[in-house]
Amino acid sequence: MTILFDQERSLFHLQAKDTSYVIHVLEKGYVAHLYWGKKIRGTQLNRLLELKPRASFSPSDASSDYKLTLDALPQEYPGYGRGDSRYPAFHAQLPNGSTISDFRYAGHRIVQGKPGLPGLPATYTESEDEAQTLELTLKDELTGLTAVLSYTAFEQHNAITRSVRFVNEGSGVLELKSALSMSLDLPNDEFDMLQLSGAWARERYVHKRKLVPGMQSVESRRGSSSHMQNPFIALLSDGATEDHGDVYGVNLVYSGSFTAGVEVDQFHTARLFIGINPFDFNWRLEPGEQFQTPEAVLVHSEHGLGGMSRSFHDLYRTRLTRGAFRDKTRPILVNNWEGTYFDFNAEKIEGIARSGKELGIELFVLDDGWFGKRDSDNSSLGDWFVHSKKLPNGLEDLVSRVKAMDMEFGLWFEPEMISPDSELYRAHPDWCLHVENRSRTESRNQLILDVSREDVQEYIVKVVSGILASAPITYVKWDMNRNMTEIGSALLPAERQRETAHRYMLGLYHVLERITSAFPHILFESCSGGGGRFDPGMLFYMPQTWTSDNTDAVSRLKIQYGTSLVYPISSMGAHVSEVPNHQVGRSPSLETRGNVALSGNFGYELDLTKISEEEKETMKEQVALYKEVRHLVQFGDFYRLLSPFEGNETAWMFVSKDQSEAFVVFVSVLQEPNAKLNRFRLKGLDAKRDYKLQGTESVYGGDELMYAGLATPQFHGDFASKVYHFHAIG
Ligand code: DGJ
């Protein structure tokens, strides 16, 4: 039983693997949040509700009872206008123009397993005994607005998921101005808020700040989850670190504009929330209509950030990503983008693929520029037919030549886009997001298809499926290279224009579901100018994401470290590219470029026909090493050892689930003369077992490696690195 219902006390106690989450329905029907944290047995948990009399500036609907003011009640899904002046979880407008609502408990049911979210990505169960779901119904009697709050507790994962389904059971039209996926009130504000923020080529840097009174939030208004903010925040209790202390992480399974934040109120409580960004959002609910919010994933860890990350990784690797590649090791690839950009022909591509084969690489990926008349980024998006000058014998011929080398073939698409200079645009100028009579803002010379439209969805499914069916393609890179402007749809009436951005996401998810399920043998990797849409929504359809357009090994330390806070290593694409690096001009050694890239889904992204014999030998060794360790990297437990945000050295490691094998990566950025003799400690090993370091005769105790650590390697030269592969003996 993962959800206990104490009828006498009107209490729901959700128990995930090591987590408890407690909800209490008060006599008046208000739904209070009592606890989220380390698992407790739970006897009389209503004791956890502590109410203090508050002054009359916090109104109470029972004037005799100043203790019960909504302004101080810890709540599960607070509304607006009846005494709680904190940030509401939803905001609805009634036919009379009022935006006041009053949700009270109206019933509940507990079901085995986890019902899916219609049209939206979400975590799932494979059998009904893996989880239980509580559906708690709240109703505003005056208007008929109903919200069904769903909570799933996973038996084998430290995760509670939440989402909300609104139903208009009234007789008038209602408008949702805001509909967050979750909200809860923590009893105090003694936390740091951690966020993953950045920019193109600098994604998901770790930022932390102490909570202060008022609002602190991160949000995207870009129509995608974005490079700038990730739909994730964590609260770290006072003193919590990488390995110790309570950490509370929330992540939104959504790829569009979002908000995530904390409001600290006058009584020092902290309201934590995440959901679709209410900014420029409005959803009309006719009588009988429903609105489903995306899912929020809540992870508590008492073992610091590391424990939180491993819980997210396990859940996402096994119960968010899907398809044939969920549990399969991922191929080593070579992508031609940084090697050729738009300047290639069939011979060049065959040459790169053949050189890749000699190194042991398993998959060749043809990037941008193979279609229409695309010789630069100023045309042809939408014209998904082969570029006859570059590939005169067609795509099928090229694919079969690469396949004949015993290499798999992958292809790049950017299906959500349209170039003004394209046959598609000349035929359908109204198919892009736009607003009547306003000029259309271009970005990288392109506009965005209005994927909220069914005819556009059909077009994308048809053209992409046609190409995938035309040749034995086994990998797709699905790119998306701009953010939204003039968010409007030619097909929606005025009163529904502000639904466009969310309808776009629903349309996109529909398209992705159709294409990925029709081609289950294809490995899909999502991309948005690198990591501009690195979120769990995309991972539901495509198990991996191109982490960043920045392929510099030193920059990647921070990018991959930050990304690993939430997302599994098996979701991160990481490639060795040429030096000087195209994005930052830095020149780390091939060895270090390899060691950083093999800490993800490994590949190369350079012109392999131009490398020296010496480089070839090093690459062969890298490829062979990755084949040896990829089961650890992609499916093992990940431990961060030294943070690139805190010092000159970065280290992380991967440990097999049975603790019999471990792979450690250590990188030192700048050398310091006469540096101190440091040691760095490993994690996650079995203290009682001995481990042999591969390539040596040295045997170390697991306890020695974890408590005394390894001597920090000494290097001569900057951007140096070393890897260690341990096997348990006996
Ligand atoms: C952006 C991607 O992140 C790159 O890897 C590459 O595919 C380009 N787009 C191609 O236009």
Mind listing the pLDDT tens digit for each residue in 154-177?
999 999 999 999 999 999 999 999
> Is 472 within the bounds of a domain?
no
Q: State in Å: Cα 620 to ligand 1 middle.
A: 26
The answer to whether the beta carbons of residues 144 and 65 sit under 8 Å apart is: no
Q: Express each pLDDT in 476-500 by its tens digit.
A: 999 999 999 999 999 999 999 999 9
Q: State in Å: Cα 312 to ligand 1 middle.
A: 27
Supply angle C-alpha 575, 576, 582, rounded to 5. Answer: 100
Answer with the one of 301, 319, 337 that is the final residue of a domain. 319
Identify any residues that bridge with 379 across adjacent strands, giving them in sequence order. Answer: none
CB 546 less than 6 A from any atom of ligand 1: yes
> Is 147 within the bounds of a domain?
yes
Cα torsion through 32, 34, 35, 39, rounded to 10: -110
CB 246 less than 6 A from any atom of ligand 1: no
Provide the domain limits for residue 668: 649-729
| Predicted pLDDT of residue 448 | 98
How many CB atoms are closer than 10 A to CB 556? 27
Nearest to 519 by CA among 467, 454, 573: 467
The answer to whether the beta carbons of residues 546 and 531 sit under 8 Å apart is: yes
| Predicted pLDDT of residue 657 | 97
Q: Which atom of ligand 1 is nearest to the CA of 549?
A: 3
Q: Express each pLDDT in 494-532 by its tens digit.
A: 999 999 999 999 999 999 999 999 999 999 999 999 999
CB 365 less than 6 A from any atom of ligand 1: no
Q: State in Å: Cα 368 to ligand 1 middle.
A: 7
> Is 292 within the bounds of a domain?
yes
> Is 360 within the bounds of a domain?
no
Catalytically active residues, by annotation? 479, 549
Query: How does residue 61 score in pLDDT terms, banded at 50, 70 and 90?
Result: confident
Query: How does residue 676 score in pLDDT terms, banded at 50, 70 and 90?
Result: confident
Q: Which atom of ligand 1 is nearest to the CA of 477?
A: 7
Taking CA atoms, 18 is separated from 70, 159, 380, 600, 638, in Å, by 30, 9, 52, 28, 19
Phi, psi for 108 (deg, rounded to 5): -160, 165
> Is 114 within the bounds of a domain?
yes
The answer to whether the beta carbons of residues 81 and 140 sit under 8 Å apart is: no
Residue 654: give its domain's CATH number. 2.60.40.1180
Q: State in Å: Cα 95 to ligand 1 middle.
A: 47
Q: State in Å: Cα 403 to ligand 1 middle.
A: 24
CB 527 less than 6 A from any atom of ligand 1: yes
Query: How does residue 118 score in pLDDT terms, banded at 50, 70 and 90?
Result: very high
Shortest-distance Cα residue to atom 2 of ligand 1? 529
Answer with the one of 276, 303, 319 that is the final residue of a domain. 319
Q: Which atom of ligand 1 is nearest to the CA of 546?
A: 3
Number of separate domains in the chain:
2
Among 202, 375, 481, residue to substitute to test ligand 1 (most atoms within 8 Å of Cβ): 481
> Is 519 within the bounds of a domain?
no
Query: Across residues 258-273, what is the average pLDDT?
Result: 97
Query: Across residues 607-618, what is the average pLDDT?
Result: 98
How many CB atoms are closer than 10 A to CB 258? 27
Among 334, 335, 337, residue to substitute to test ligand 1 (most atoms within 8 Å of Cβ): 337
> Is 532 within the bounds of a domain?
no
CB 364 less than 6 A from any atom of ligand 1: no
Residue 222: give its domain's CATH number. 2.70.98.60
E strand or H helix at 516, and its extent? helix 500-518
Query: Across residues 564-583, what is the average pLDDT?
Result: 98
Question: What proportion of the chain, given as a percentage, has pLDDT over 90?
Answer: 95
Query: Across residues 431-457, what is the average pLDDT?
Result: 98
Among 479, 534, 546, 581, residue to substitute to test ligand 1 (most atoms within 8 Å of Cβ): 479
CB 367 less than 6 A from any atom of ligand 1: yes
Query: Across residues 281-288, what is the average pLDDT?
Result: 98
| Predicted pLDDT of residue 64 | 62
Shortest-distance Cα residue to atom 9 of ligand 1? 529
Query: Across residues 88-98, what is the average pLDDT?
Result: 96
Q: Which atom of ligand 1 is nearest to the CA of 530?
A: 3
How many CB atoms are closer than 10 A to CB 393? 12
> Is 36 within the bounds of a domain?
yes
Q: At what angle do helices 500-518 and 454-470 cross, to 10 degrees?
A: 30
| Predicted pLDDT of residue 62 | 64
Q: State in Å: Cα 616 to ligand 1 middle.
A: 25
Answer with the one of 261, 287, 319 that is the final residue of a domain. 319
Q: Express each pLDDT in 382-430 by its tens digit.
A: 999 999 999 999 999 999 999 999 999 999 999 999 999 999 999 999 9
Q: State in Å: Cα 276 to ligand 1 middle.
A: 27
CB 304 less than 6 A from any atom of ligand 1: no
